[in-house]
Amino acid sequence: MPRVKGGTTSLKRRKSVLLRAKGFRHSRSKKERHAKEALAHAGLQAFAHRRDKKNVFRQLWIVRLNAAVRENGFRSYSVFIDALKKKSIELDRKVLSDLAKNNPEAFSRLAKQVAE
């Protein structure tokens, strides 16, 4: 059986790693060992931050809602949400926040309906 040298495969693997590490600083984008380490950490951070992003957006929606709700005569966000649940209006925070931001007239009509 003839001997097979792994030159082309090794070069392809190295090139792939360095391409994915493009834009990293210093040796992390130039040397294979450092690039592999940096990519491993970057992957872990990306995974964790995809999860965190959901919490960050929920916080943003709540802040927007709180501001809009106070403008429409409610004491606080929590009072508004409680009133929504008692009236059985099932709109999530994302939709309510978008409504408050992009269509304040409709949101104020909704707030009046909930206040009754």
Copy the structure tokens of residue 85. 């649940």
CATH of 10-115 given 3.40.50.410, 3.50.50.60, 1.10.1900.20, 3.40.50.970: 1.10.1900.20
Rounded to two decimals, the pTM is: 0.73
Per the structure block, which two tokens stand in for 99? Answer: 């409504």
pLDDT for the residue 116: 83
pLDDT single digits (tens) 11-69: 999 999 999 999 999 999 999 999 999 999 999 999 999 999 999 999 999 999 999 99
Burial 15-38 (b: 16+ CB within 10 A, else e): eebbebbeebeeebbebeeebbeb
